[in-house]
Structure 1
Amino acid sequence: MNTTPDQRLARTFVTLADTLVADFDVLDFLAVLAERSVEHLAVDAAGVILSDQRGGWRPAAGSSERADLVELFAAQTRQGPCFDCLAVGEAVTSADLSAPSQLRRWPRFAPAALDAGFRAASAVPMRLRDQTIGALTLLNHDPVELNADTIAVGQALADVATIGILHHRAAGRGELLAEQLEATLQHRIVVEQAKGVLAEYGGLEMHDAFTLLREYAHERQRRLSDVARDLAEGTLRADEITAGRIG
């Protein structure tokens, strides 16, 4: 049965709010946030960065695992709309990164985004009251100005994801938020290692390797980070993941 855009958006909010499960996987949760943001906000790519609890920010998830996009999200932890929105605690947008004013504003980020094929960038903070844990980045290939309604929906997606993460933490065993976020970022490093192992074994692009990891984890109802650790440490073979999935 066909569903309307509003119905699909409502289902996404339900998905992002439902974190009270025993096998809640923060990395997969953030990947869903990025992917659904692309779907609902009519942007070409999206990514999430999180606080590393030492005064810095690090990439945690993206709508694609393309190498140039991963590098661009990493660059946003030092400069760009994402970095600025974390400083001011509200949405920051740029409709045309090729404009001289934007190149002067972000002399490292803007050229990197243009090289990756993106002309417009926006970011909204992941926050609850006065607590900001990260930001959601939105990228477009064309120079477009996201309207107020789109930014509002993006902020709502970021807010409900933040509430979900904080709610899961509060419902757990008293785990501190700082410890949870740090563990998530460490898990992301392991996922990067596992992607490399799988990509080299199967001759795959990084995004395809990541997709196979997620599919394997979902099919076996395991956390993405656990599957990635097993592959990186050699207790899970790459051919077990690729079997029947690549030709």
Structure 2
Amino acid sequence: MTGDRWRRIADQIEQVDATQSLGHRVCAVAADLLSVDHASLALVVNHATSWIEGSDDAAIVLDEQQFSLGDGPSFLAIDSLAPVMGIDMNSPEALRRWPAFAPVAIRHDAIAVFSFPLRVGEARLGVMSAYRSQPGELTAAEYADGLVVASLATMALLQEQAGASPGDLAAAFSPGVIHQSQVQLAAGMVSEQLDMSIIEALVRLRAYAYAHEQSVNSVARSVISRELAFQKEEKQ
């Protein structure tokens, strides 16, 4: 039965629009199988995201909020190397467990959050997260499907990584590589605007994205298109 589930889900991923990245296709299938509104994949290094792909922008924003805050089911799934089911962000338990992220999730109408680690043994690669506007648990079948999708995503990441340069993802898996270059370009522009280092500019970009509850990619695009410019603060 488990083998049948693997084949069924792998076939479903293959049937999604081939013009989309593999990462997006995995997220789309995860959202469908788990009956959620948004799904995402994130690669994580030292508890910081190096790449995020989502079924839509909302998934990316929610992931970035968790890792900016250092709080939330996805963050905990990475730490514990086990699935974390946040079945009701409005509940006292969730507000106590994730005091920083739960209010953000509620504002974004992500009332239930389900996170599955991407792992190889004790090695942490990342996390797959699913966001739903209604509270409640996953069914047994949905939970089992989530485990398989996370495993397939892990296998795909390892296969793509094997053909990529060290530290890089193969472009076929993710337009996140393109997004990452956009963020780096935007950081360079902010660095010039504020006369600071690239690292400091990246921090400013992420801080702006967090404060305005946008994805870093979205903020980067606004900087590159010159819709957004950072101004030096006047010294008192």
Question: Take 1:116 and 1:82, find their aligned partners in 2: how far apart are those partners?
Answer: 16
Question: Take 2:15 and 2:123, find their aligned partners in 1: how far apart are those partners?
Answer: 22
Residue 179 (structure 2) pairs with residue 188 (structure 1): yes
Report how far residue 132 of structure 1 moved.
2.1
Match of 2:138 in 1: 146
Q: CA offsets, 1:114-144, max 9 Å, x none?
A: 0011211110011222322110001111111
Match of 2:11 in 1: 11
Question: Take 1:106 and 1:47, find their aligned partners in 2: how far apart are those partners?
Answer: 19
CA contact (8 A) 1:50 1:60 kept: yes
Residue 29 (structure 2) pairs with residue 36 (structure 1): yes
The residue correspondences of 1:49-88 to structure 2 (distance < 5 A) are 49-51=42-44, 53-58=45-50, 60-66=52-58, 69-77=59-67, 78-88=70-80
Question: Take 1:85 and 1:70, find their aligned partners in 2: how far apart are those partners?
Answer: 17
CA contact (8 A) 1:48 1:136 kept: yes
Query: Alignment length, in residue pairs?
Result: 181
Unaligned runs of 5+ in 1: 17-23, 195-205, 211-227, 234-247
The residue correspondences of 1:95-106 to structure 2 (distance < 5 A) are 95-106=87-98
Task: Specify the code of the residue in structure 1 equivalent to 2:140.
Answer: A
Residue 111 (structure 2) pairs with residue 111 (structure 1): no
CA contact (8 A) 2:52 2:60 kept: no
Report % sequence identity. Answer: 25
Task: Specify the code of the residue in structure 1 equivalent to 2:42.
Answer: I
Match of 2:149 in 1: 157
CA contact (8 A) 2:74 2:116 kept: yes
One of 40, 44, 47 as aligned partner of 1:47 = 40
Match of 2:190 in 1: none
Secondary structure of the 2:106 match is helix
CA contact (8 A) 2:36 2:131 kept: yes
Q: CA offsets, 1:26-66, max 9 Å, x none?
A: x9221111111111221111111112x35422551111124
Task: Specify the code of the residue in structure 2 equivalent to 1:49.
Answer: A
Task: Specify the code of the residue in structure 2 equivalent to 1:71.
Answer: V
Report how far residue 190 of structure 1 moved.
3.6
Secondary structure of the 2:168 match is helix
Task: Specify the code of the residue in structure 1 equivalent to 2:65.
Answer: A
Task: Specify the code of the residue in structure 2 equivalent to 1:65.
Answer: D
Match of 1:243 in 2: none
Report how far residue 156 of structure 1 moved.
0.9
